[in-house]
Amino acid sequence: MPELPEVETVRRGLASVMEGAQFTKVEAHRGDLRWPLPKDFVQRLEGQTVERLDRRAKYLIAHLSSDEVLIMHLGMSGSFRVARRRGMQTPGHYYHARPSHSLHDHVVFQMSSDAVISFNDPRRFGMMKLVRRADLEKESLLSALGPEPLGKAFNSIVLARLLKGKKTSLKAALSDQKIVAGLGNIYVCEALHRARLSPVWRASSVATRLGRPNERTRELVAAIKAVLRDAIAAGGSSLRNHRRTDGALGDFQHNFRVYDRAGKPCPRRGCGGIIKRIVQTGRSTFFCPVCQK
């Protein structure tokens, strides 16, 4: 499932072909993603210019010249693919030339930038929604989200307040989108290893009893930001590579420290621990029992 760095990589890839460009043609091949596509989806997009493409947590938010906003989510398996119309054998029908993908290409945007963007989602948990810009603040998908981890609003004071008295595990608390937006299984594991904190600790141990930050809170905030920044940087380099190949956005080679590395040595110099896998709230957790305690 894509997490924040992957979505940010997708945003950057799409921004370069969408921002300032007009939807010249929109094709909706299947109306049923996680929810049905908005009413008059094609008509509301065609002819509009994308003024800006933002991201909030794992949502992509395209501001349109019509004063509407297109909110997009990749769900479990969604991906975007960018192709160039110029020089293609069959302009406008490029997707038929890629049978392995055409089956799941639900939505295709032809942009005035000459890019053809297809949204492909085999499991159909992704979504697209149109709302008025004036209603964006109170949009229910976004209003319940916690602070954006790379923003200024996410700091040790805020995190300590959110974790105060929390009896759930640190892993479960950090996976909660109301506490930090956009973190998932992978980057929670990675950040906890970087901060030397055990995923099984009570979340409240990363704050004082009064909900003030302690040394652990500061370590954790720094680790979360560093892990995400590194992953976004890795995504940026993969974006350049993908551009030269098939135009797929967002799937890149990771170098995880603990995630999916059960039985392998801990990468922390001098630690000597072996990465362990446990199950918490139904999801795999990977950590080093030696340095994360």
Instruction: Answer yes or no: are the C-beta atoms of 43 and 132 closer than 8 Å.
Output: no
Q: Which of 268, 276, 277, 283 is in the footprint of Zn ion by CB under 5 A?
A: 268
For residues 90 to 129, the per-residue mask of contacts with Zn ion, x marking binding by CB under 5 A and - elsewhere, is: ----------------------------------------
Query: Least separation, in Å, of the C-beta of 286 and Zn ion?
Result: 11
DSSP class of residue 47? T
Pick the piece of the chain touching Zn ion (CB under 5 A) from 71-79, 111-119, 164-172, 280-288.
280-288
Instruction: Answer yes or no: are the C-beta atoms of 184 and 175 closer than 8 Å.
Output: yes
Report if residue 290 touches Zn ion, rule: CB under 5 A. yes
Query: Least separation, in Å, of the C-beta of 271 and Zn ion?
Result: 3
For residues 211 to 250, the per-residue mask of contacts with Zn ion, x marking binding by CB under 5 A and - elsewhere, is: ----------------------------------------
Report if residue 47 touches Zn ion, rule: CB under 5 A. no
Report if residue 195 touches Zn ion, rule: CB under 5 A. no
Q: Is 155 left (phi over 0), alpha (psi -120 to 50) or beta?
A: beta
Task: Provide, for the chain, the percentages of residues in helix, strand and coil under a 3-state DSSP scheme, each rounded to the nearest 5.
Answer: 30, 25, 45
Phi first, then psi, for residue 22 (nearest 5°) are: -105, 145
Place of tokens 């969408």: 18
State how beta strands 50-56 and 59-64 pair.
antiparallel
Residues whose CB is less than 8 angstroms from the CB of residue 99 and which lie 6 or more positions away in sequence, other chains included: none
Query: Least separation, in Å, of the C-beta of 262 and Zn ion?
Result: 13
Separation between Cα atoms, residue 251 and residue 79, nearest integer Å: 9
Separation between Cα atoms, residue 170 and residue 173, nearest integer Å: 5
* Identity of the residue, 68 or 190, whose beta carbon is nearer to Zn ion in the bound complex: 190
**Which amino acids are annotated catalytic?**
2-3, 58, 283
Report if residue 271 touches Zn ion, rule: CB under 5 A. yes
Report if residue 273 touches Zn ion, rule: CB under 5 A. yes
Pick the piece of the chain touching Zn ion (CB under 5 A) from 96-104, 114-122, 154-162, 269-277.
269-277
**Which amino acid belongs to residue 173?**
A
Report if residue 274 touches Zn ion, rule: CB under 5 A. no
Separation between Cα atoms, residue 285 and residue 202, nearest integer Å: 15
Phi first, then psi, for residue 177 (nearest 5°) are: -65, -15
Supply 74's token pair.
């990749």
State how beta strands 115-120 and 50-56 pair.
unpaired
Pick the piece of the chain touching Zn ion (CB under 5 A) from 154-162, 205-213, 241-249, 260-268.
260-268
Query: Least separation, in Å, of the C-beta of 278 and Zn ion?
Result: 15
Report if residue 262 touches Zn ion, rule: CB under 5 A. no
Query: Least separation, in Å, of the C-beta of 289 and Zn ion?
Result: 8
- How many residues touch Zn ion (CB under 5 A)? 7
Q: Which of 15, 142, 234, 291 is in the footprint of Zn ion by CB under 5 A?
A: 291
Instruction: Answer yes or no: are the C-beta atoms of 275 and 266 closer than 8 Å.
Output: yes
Binding site for Zn ion (CB under 5 A): 266, 268, 271, 273, 288, 290-291
